[in-house]
């Protein structure tokens, strides 16, 4: 927290209230606690104020006030992030955008929608669904996460294999710059004029400013969808099948891998029809034209069988398809059945290195006396090893963190990345040198300075730095109620 | 150029790779001849040339195949062309990863041939593939008809290596298809026209080559009807890989006859998918007046990418207009009409599904008044802006460029662009003064 006298603090509170209204400011310690973490409960930091603006003008006024007072500030959506990116690392203001949650406009002729940052991802697909459209980026937390948060992290999801991540669906942004100026980056047309500021803003983890309006592309729902579950007795064979599918000229909408530990947990919790005795399964989805769907599905089945699948099953109907996906999307809640806590990792590797890296992950975790469950976007090479542990056992959490760092090193060694969709935030800022040279980081820092010269906008993130007011501690992950019910998950 | 400086350049890249005198004629831009053209043979040599340029404050003009060299404000300062044509290696292609890493100077056609031999392709089909280089295509954000389905460089570029203004080598992104570590530097270099750094290597996503591909065309008596037809396609279940709209003049460049307008639609996929979609399209188009569907030969694809530019032997000016897809037909119609009122003929083509329109004015001997040309282009720009879009001159004689800003007004965002430029190229040496917002 920032050091302020009680008088300064109450004066500031009054000023904030004149901007956002009486009910729009929190500063009581108990209330601030609610906002001390995001989905990664390993890190905590307290703000001085949580502010709930209702419009771009209010955001701009709050930011100008922060700028004047030299107070750090950070925007926050639903708080489902997994890298501590929206934490007020140096105190100051948190701007919660949850009151800015409207779909402002849908232009069906041009396949675009204009939305506010606090809009829940899935709610956009609900809004345009009746007309046969949807918003493609589908992070698994899409029932809770906001599109503004998706912008900050350039979020992915299972279907990014075919349709790309958030940035591929964002055309323009109205942004409150760190000095409070409101500026449009990009617009409604497909090609921006000049530098692609929208493209570089997306994924900047809230360090370039605050998006207050977002122009996104919406897509026609596919005519047909087919979902396949391929079951393997060896993880290596499942990994090989991923490359075999690609090698046969197929780009499915999604290729997800689920390992044995995860399938057993899911079966215990929800009974989705996964084989308990298999080493791994691939959940593969094809979408597109109805014509040719059977031919493509047959190619998928052949690729899986040739790679050693013991069983390949096509979902017979929509109900079975939903059940198969429920298992995938509920995996995180299900881990609660087999472990009191777990740490979600996020790394990316070239798809062809899956067999090697999954083997290394298992070795590293075992060497630390821990267990791991894998459920991840295999088609993209985006790993999510979930290291299970018991936070009550002394030293176990430290071993998890150590194993996690080693897994990130392996991802870097095979030419991969330390984050596919969760972002760097606070969690991985010290891992950045694994994949970037000092010159790379210095260049990125210059870009940051161009947007955020004072550094007050979301300080302490992305770049290797000391973690100032942030606490890391023994408070472990506990599933949220909606996760425990299998309604949402963390990625 | 002072002799000692020339000697230093020769020492870095070898004397055979420094051009001067009459050899510089292919590198003249808007009447300005560069002081030299140097062709480094490695990333290290690029870095050495850029370091030297920084030391003596010498402007550099990064140069790929030269296909977009004339795009932009006439170079206000003298400088040295930094040619990337010797950096043309395909560094790594792992088909199972659906990615390729290649040096910036590789020519698009060569790259596609190498990828095609292994059943894959880079889904970018800009014009002039026989000359355009990978780095140049990225720096100019060039695209072609298939962008309708497959997007542009921003959807495909996952990693980039650049030599920055101070001569250091910087990597952004990576080699994996999904990556949110750090800022998305590749996005910054797309369409930056060499103003922020010299792209020396890039990693891009690939796609498997489709089993079949087909381009079909339907003539329309009225451009407006074709525009409505495009909207119907966009709202249908069809998944075309291209939806282009061309006027009669541009259609002739494709080798087909149309009274007023021609809708050109591409499909790919399994043979049965292509067949079904072509059949659907044929029946869907009849109510809009599109009756005579014909199949175009494969050679029409590259021709389509530059149909309007090729409509006239000599164009007087070329403008790129970025508009909402629903406004494409109106943009073409109004643009043609505002030129016609001044007695000028035009050609038009558009990637209609994504709203990218190209308008070309025909050169007409010596009677052409630059002020009149500029007035027509200004009206086109005003039309694009009225619909929320923007328009920039792609090619025009110096006198026209002097009469009308080459680039559209970037507004307040232009100031952010200027700050980025100032941070990354503080001496303003990389393609100075040629880009948006005075950059």
Q: Smallest Cβ distance to A415: which of B175, B239, B419?
A: B175
- The pLDDT score that the predictor gives to residue A481 is 46
Burial of B394 per CB tally in 10 Å (0-12, 13-18, 19+): buried
CB A143 within 8 Å of CB A488: yes
Tell me how crowded residue A356 is: count the other CB atoms within 10 A of its CB. Answer: 14
Query: In the structure, what pLDDT confidence band is assigned to residue A140 with cuts at 50, 70 and 90?
Result: confident
Those residues with Cβ within 8 angstroms of residue A394's Cβ, 6 or more apart along the chain or in another chain: none
- The residue of A81, A168, A173, A189 whose CB has the most chain B CBs within 10 angstroms, and thus the best one to mutate to test that interface, is A189
For residue A487, the model assigns a pLDDT of 53
Query: With 80 as the cut, is the pLDDT of residue B365 above it?
Result: no
Please check the confidence at residue A489 and state whether its pLDDT lies above 80: no
pLDDT at position A43: 87
Chain A residues with beta carbon closer than 8 angstroms to that of B430: none
Considering Cα of B432, then B433, then B435, then B439, what sign does the dihedral take? positive
Rounded-to-integer distance, Cα B189 and Cα B209, Å: 27
Give the pLDDT score at A476.
44
Task: Answer whether B180 sits within 8 Å of A295, measured CB to CB.
Answer: no
A421/B190 touch (CB, cutoff 8 Å), yes or no:
no
Q: State residue A3's pLDDT score.
A: 85
**Predicted confidence (pLDDT) at residue A477 exceeds the cutoff of 60:** no
Question: How deeply is B268 buried, as exposed, middle or buried, from its count of CB atoms within 10 A (0-12, 13-18, 19+)?
Answer: buried
Contact B211, B269 (CB under 8 A): yes
Q: Which CATH class is domain B3-83?
A: alpha beta
Task: Identify from B147, B149, B180 which residue to disrupt to test chain A contact, counting A C-beta atoms within 10 A and taking the largest count.
Answer: B180
ipTM, 2 dp: 0.97
Residues of chain A with pLDDT > 90: what percent? 85
Window from A97-106, A246-255, A432-441, B223-232 with minimum mean pLDDT: A246-255
Report which of B411, B223, B226 is spatially closest to residue B335, judged by C-alpha positions.
B223
Structure tokens at A384: 């999510």
Band the pLDDT of A488: cuts 50, 70, 90.
Answer: low
Mean pLDDT, residues B82-95? 97
Question: Looking at the predicted structure, is the pLDDT value of residue B388 above 70?
Answer: yes
What does the block give as tokens for A482? 């909606």
Cβ–Cβ under 8 Å, residues B72 and B58: no
Q: Given a cut of 60, is residue B399 above it in pLDDT?
A: yes
Mean predicted lDDT score pLDDT of chain A: 93
Q: With 70 as the cut, is the pLDDT of residue A470 above it?
A: no
- CA B290/CA B275 separation, integer angstroms: 18
E strand or H helix at A172, and its extent? strand A170-176
Task: Supply the mean pLDDT for chain B.
Answer: 96
Kind plus residue range of the DSSP H or E element containing B110 = helix B108-116
Q: Is the pLDDT of residue A475 over 50?
A: no
What is d(CA B261, CA A422) in angstroms, rounded to the nearest whole number?
48
Mean pLDDT score, B287-300: 94
Alpha helices in A307-341 (DSSP H): 318-329, 331-334
Chain B window 386-405: which residues touch A at a Cβ cutoff of 8 Å? 388-390, 392
Average pLDDT over residues A439-453: 98
Could you confirm whether domain B90-208 is CATH 3.30.465.10?
yes
Domains of chain A with CATH codes: 6-98+452-472 (3.30.43.10), 103-220 (3.30.465.10), 224-334 (3.30.70.2190), 339-420 (3.30.70.2740)
Parts of chain B belonging to CATH 3.30.43.10: 3-83
Burial A10-47 (b: 16+ CB within 10 A, else e): eebbeebeebbeeebbbbeeeebeebbbbbbbbbbbbb
Nearest-CB residue to A188 (from B176, B210, B324): B324
Q: Is the pLDDT of residue A41 over 90?
A: no
- Taking the Cβ of residue B220 and every Cβ of chain A, the question of whether any pair is shorter than 8 Å is answered with no
| Average of per-residue pLDDT across A38-48 | 89
Q: How far apart are CA A303 and CA A248, in angstroms?
A: 8
DSSP-derived letter for residue B35 is: S
Q: Binning pLDDT at 50, 70 and 90, where does residue A486 land?
A: low
**Cα nearest neighbour of B228 on chain A:** A109
Candidates B141, B150, B156, B178: best to mutate against A (most CBs of A within 10 A) is B178
Q: Is 80 exceeded by the pLDDT of residue A473?
A: no
Distance separating alpha carbons of residues B432 and B42, to the nearest angstrom: 24
pLDDT band at A336 (very low <50, low <70, confident <90, very high): confident
Classify the C-alpha dihedral B136-B140-B141-B142 as positive or negative: negative
Question: pLDDT by residue (tens digit) across A51-90?
Answer: 999 999 999 999 999 999 999 999 999 999 999 999 999 9
Q: What are phi and psi of A388, to 5 degrees?
A: -90, 140
**CATH fold group of domain B315-403:** Alpha-Beta Plaits (3.30.70)
What pLDDT is stored for residue A483 in this prediction?
54
Q: Which of A19, A134, A21 is nearest to A69 (CA)?
A: A19
Give B342's DSSP letter: T
Q: Identify the closest residue of chain A to B422 by CA–CA distance.
A: A450
pLDDT of amino acid A490: 52
A337–chain B nearest CA distance, Å: 31
What does the pLDDT average to over A260-265?
95
- Is residue A184 helix, strand or coil? strand
A415 interfaces chain B, CB cutoff of 8 Å: yes
Cβ proximity of B134 and B83 under 8 Å = no
Rounded CA-CA distance B401/B396 in Å is 6
Residue range B122-140, pLDDT digits in tens: 999 999 999 999 999 999 9
DSSP class of B210: P
Of B196, B204, B305, whose CA–CA distance to B250 is shortest?
B305
Radius of gyration over every alpha carbon of chain B, rounded to an integer in angstroms:
22
Reference B320, options B360, B287, B374; nearest CA is: B360
Instruction: Band the pLDDT of A225: cuts 50, 70, 90.
Output: very high
Nearest CA in chain B to A175: B413
CATH architecture of B212-305: 2-Layer Sandwich (3.30)
Domain with CATH 3.30.465.10 in chain B: 90-208
């Amino acid at each position: 927290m920032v050091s302020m006298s009680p008088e300064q603090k109450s004066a500031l509170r009054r000023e904030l209230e004149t901007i956002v209204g009486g009910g729009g400011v929190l500063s009581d310690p108990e209330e601030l606690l609610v906002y001390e973490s995001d989905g990664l409960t390993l890190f905590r930091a307290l703000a001085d104020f949580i502010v709930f603006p209702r419009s771009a003008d209010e955001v701009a006024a709050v930011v100008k006030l922060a700028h004047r007072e030299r107070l750090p500030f950070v925007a926050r959506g639903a708080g489902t992030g997994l890298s501590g990116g929206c934490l007020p690392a140096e105190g100051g203001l948190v701007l919660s955008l949850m009151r800015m949650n409207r779909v402002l406009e849908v232009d069906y002729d041009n396949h675009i929608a204009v939305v506010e940052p606090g809009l829940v991802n899935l709610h956009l697909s609900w809004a345009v669904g009746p007309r046969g459209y949807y918003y493609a980026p589908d992070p698994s937390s899409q029932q809770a996460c906001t599109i503004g948060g998706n912008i900050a992290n350039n979020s992915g999801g299972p279907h990014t294999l075919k349709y790309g991540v958030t940035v591929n669906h964002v055309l323009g942004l109205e942004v409150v710059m760190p000095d409070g100026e409101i500026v449009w980056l990009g617009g409604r047309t497909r090609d921006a004029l000049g530098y692609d500021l929208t493209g570089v803003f997306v994924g900047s983890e809230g360090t370039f400013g605050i998006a207050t309006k977002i122009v996104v592309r919406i897509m026609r729902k596919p005519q047909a969808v087919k979902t396949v579950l391929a079951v393997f007795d060896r993880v290596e064979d499942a990994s090989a099948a991923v490359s075999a599918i690609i090698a046969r000229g197929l780009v499915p909408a999604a290729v997800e891998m689920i390992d044995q530990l995860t399938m057993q947990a899911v079966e215990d919790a929800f009974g989705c029809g996964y084989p308990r005795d298999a080493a791994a399964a691939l959940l593969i989805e094809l979408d597109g034209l109805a014509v040719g769907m059977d031919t493509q599905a047959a190619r998928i089945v052949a690729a899986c069988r040739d790679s050693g699948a013991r069983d390949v099953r096509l979902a017979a109907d929509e109900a079975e398809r939903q059940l198969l996906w429920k298992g995938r999307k509920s995996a995180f809640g299900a881990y609660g059945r087999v472990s009191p806590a777990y740490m979600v990792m996020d790394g990316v590797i070239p798809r062809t290195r899956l067999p090697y890296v999954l083997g290394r992950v298992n070795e590293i975790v075992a060497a630390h006396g821990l267990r791991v469950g894998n459920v991840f976007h295999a088609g993209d090479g985006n790993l999510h090893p979930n290291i299970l542990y018991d936070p009550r056992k002394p030293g176990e959490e430290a071993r998890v963190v150590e194993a996690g760092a080693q897994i990130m090193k392996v991802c870097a060694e095979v030419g991969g990345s330390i984050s596919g969709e969760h972002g760097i935030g606070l969690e991985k800022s010290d891992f950045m040198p694994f994949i970037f040279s000092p010159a790379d980081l210095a260049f990125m820092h210059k870009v940051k300075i161009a947007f955020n010269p004072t550094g007050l906008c979301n300080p302490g993130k992305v770049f290797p730095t000391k973690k100032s007011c942030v606490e890391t501690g023994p408070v472990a992950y506990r599933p949220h109620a909606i996760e425990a019910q299998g309604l949402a998950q963390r990625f | 150029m002072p002799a000692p400086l020339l000697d230093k350049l020769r020492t870095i890249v070898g004397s055979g790779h420094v051009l001067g005198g009459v050899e510089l004629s292919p590198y003249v831009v808007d009447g300005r001849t560069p002081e030299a053209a140097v062709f480094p043979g490695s990333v290290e040599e690029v870095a050495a040339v850029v370091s030297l340029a920084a030391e003596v404050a010498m402007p550099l003009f990064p140069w790929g195949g030269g296909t977009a060299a004339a795009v932009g404000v006439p170079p206000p300062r003298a400088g040295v062309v930094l040619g990337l044509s010797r950096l043309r290696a395909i560094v790594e292609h792992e088909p199972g990863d659906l990615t390729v890493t290649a040096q910036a100077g590789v020519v698009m056609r060569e790259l596609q041939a190498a990828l095609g031999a292994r059943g894959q392709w880079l889904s970018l089909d800009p014009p002039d593939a026989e000359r355009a280089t990978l780095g140049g295509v990225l720096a100019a954000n060039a695209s072609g008809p298939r962008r309708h389905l497959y997007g542009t460089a921003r959807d495909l570029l996952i990693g980039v290596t650049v030599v920055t203004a101070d001569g250091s080598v910087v990597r952004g992104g990576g080699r994996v298809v999904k990556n949110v570590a750090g800022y998305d530097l590749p996005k910054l270099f797309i369409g930056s026209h060499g103003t922020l750094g010299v792209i020396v290597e890039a990693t891009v996503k690939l796609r498997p080559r489709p089993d079949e591909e087909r381009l079909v065309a339907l003539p329309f008596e009225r451009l407006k009807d074709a525009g409505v037809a495009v909207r119907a396609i966009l709202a249908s279940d069809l998944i075309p890989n291209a939806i282009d709209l061309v006027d009669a003049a541009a259609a002739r460049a494709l080798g087909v006859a149309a009274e007023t307008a021609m809708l050109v639609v591409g499909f790919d996929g399994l043979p049965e998918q292509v067949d079904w979609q072509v059949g659907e399209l044929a029946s869907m188009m009849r109510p809009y007046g599109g009756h005579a569907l014909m199949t175009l030969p494969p050679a029409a694809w590259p021709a389509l990418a530059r149909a309007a530019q090729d409509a006239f032997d000599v164009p007087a000016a070329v403008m790129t207009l970025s508009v909402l897809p629903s406004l494409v037909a109106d943009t073409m119609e109004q643009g043609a009409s505002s030129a016609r009122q001044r007695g000028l003929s035009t050609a038009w083509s558009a990637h209609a599904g994504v709203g990218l329109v190209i308008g070309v004015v025909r050169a007409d001997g010596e009677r052409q008044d630059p002020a009149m040309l500029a007035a027509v282009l200004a009206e086109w720009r005003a039309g694009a802006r009225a619909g929320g879009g923007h328009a920039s001159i792609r090619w025009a004689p110096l006198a026209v460029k002097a009469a009308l800003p080459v680039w559209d007004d970037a507004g307040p965002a232009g100031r952010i662009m200027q700050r980025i430029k100032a941070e990354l190229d503080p001496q303003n040496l990389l393609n100075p003064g040629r880009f948006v917002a005075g950059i």
